[in-house]
Amino acid sequence: MTAYLVRRTLQTIAVLLIISMVTFTISYLIPADPAAEIAGPKAKPDTIERIRERLGLDQPLYIQYGRYLWRLLHGDLGESYRLRMPVIELFRRRLWATFQLAVLGVLFELFMGVPVGIISAVKSRSWLDRATMIGALVGVSDPRFWLGVVLLYLLGFKLSLLPLGGYGSLKHVILPAFTLGVAGAAWYARMLRSSMLDILGSDYMRTAHAKGLPPWMVLLRHALPNAIQPVITMVGMDLGYYLGGVVVIESVFSWPGMGKEVWQAIQNLDIPVITGSVTLAALAVVLMNFVVDLVNAAIDPRVRLGEGPPA
CATH number of the domain where residue 151 is located = 1.10.3720.10
The amino acid occupying position 278 is V
Question: Mind spelling out the 3-state secondary structure of the chain?
Answer: CHHHHHHHHHHHHHHHHHHHHHHHHHHHHCCCCHHHHHHCCCCCHHHHHHHHHHHCCCCCHHHHHHHHHHHHHCCCCCECCCCCCEHHHHHHHHHHHHHHHHHHHHHHHHHHHHHHHHHHHHCCCCHHHHHHHHHHHHHHHCCHHHHHHHHHHHHHHHCCCCCCCCCCCHHHHHHHHHHHHHHHHHHHHHHHHHHHHHHHCCHHHHHHHHCCCCHHHHHHHHHHHHHCHHHHHHHHHHHHHHHCCCHHHHHHCCCCCHHHHHHHHHHCCCHHHHHHHHHHHHHHHHHHHHHHHHHHHHHCCCCECCECCCC
Domain encompassing residue 41 = 12-73
Whether the pLDDT of residue 300 is over 80: the answer is no
Give yes or no: residues 184 and 247 share one domain: yes
Q: Is 243 part of any domain?
A: yes
User: What pLDDT, in 10s, does the model give residues 10-25?
Assistant: 877 888 888 888 877 8
Closest CA to 110 of 175, 187, 171, 162: 187
Does residue 159 lie in a domain region?
Answer: yes
Q: Which of 41, 73, 105 is the last residue of a domain?
A: 73
Instruction: Residue 235: name the closest of 107, 140, 120 by CA.
Output: 107
Cα angle 224-230-232, degrees, rounded to a multiple of 5: 80
Q: Are residues 62 and 104 in the same domain?
A: no
Could you report the per-residue pLDDT of 147-200, keeping only the tens digit for each? 888 888 888 888 888 888 778 788 889 999 998 888 888 888 888 888 888 888
- On whether residue 183 sits in a domain, the answer given is yes
- Same domain, yes or no: 68 and 176: no
| Longest CA pairwise span in the chain (Å) | 85
Per-residue pLDDT at 107: 92
Any domain includes 177: yes
- Does residue 132 sit in the same domain as residue 247? yes
pTM: 0.77
Given pLDDT bands bounded at 50, 70 and 90, which one contains residue 104? very high
CB 306 within 8 A of CB 7: yes
- Domain membership of residue 255 (yes or no) is yes
Domains identified in the chain, total number: 2
Q: Is there a single domain that holds both residue 37 and residue 141?
A: no
Residue 3 lies in a domain: no
pLDDT at 272 over 50: yes
